[in-house]
């Protein structure tokens, strides 16, 4: 009778170890494939926003294209057309909109 209880207890320990290892593996996969790349993307976006300067062509989150006319602490003024200026939060800038001449693209 006692030997059956000891065998059952030993079997449950190995089962519990496998369960713990499985959960560690799942958490590791989530970290390396979801959390870590998202943190890198946020870090890159923050660096991009901090490096914005007058004259850069950018695109806002809403899809508005414009050239930076001025940069303040938390806002940016975009010139979207001649004489048309709009003020945006820095965090609303999505990406840089570089206009490459067709000649450069053909060389690549």
Count of C-beta atoms within a 10 Å radius of residue 93: 22
Q: Which residues contact 57 (CB under 8 A, 6 or more apart)?
A: 65, 66, 67, 68, 96, 97, 98, 99
9-55, pLDDT tens digit by residue? Answer: 555 678 889 999 999 999 999 999 999 999 999 999 999 898 888 98
3-state secondary structure of 66: strand
Domain ranges of the chain: 1-51, 54-107
Nearest Cα to Cα of residue 65 among 40, 47, 88: 88
Higher pLDDT, 14 or 92: 92
Entry pTM: 0.61
> What is the reported pLDDT for 14?
81
What architecture is domain 54-107? Roll (2.30)
Confidence of residue 5 (pLDDT cuts 50, 70, 90): very low
């Amino acid at each position: 009778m006692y030997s059956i209880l000891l065998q059952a207890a030993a079997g449950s320990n190995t089962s519990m170890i496998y369960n713990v290892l499985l959960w560690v593996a799942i958490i590791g996969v989530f970290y390396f494939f979801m959390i870590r790349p998202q943190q890198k993307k946020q870090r890159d976006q923050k660096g991009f926003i901090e490096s914005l300067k007058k004259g850069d062509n950018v695109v806002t989150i809403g899809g508005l294209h414009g050239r930076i006319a001025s940069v303040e602490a938390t806002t940016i003024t975009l010139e979207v057309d001649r004489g048309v200026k709009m003020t945006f939060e820095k965090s609303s800038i999505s990406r840089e909109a570089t206009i490459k001449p067709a000649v450069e693209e053909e060389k690549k």
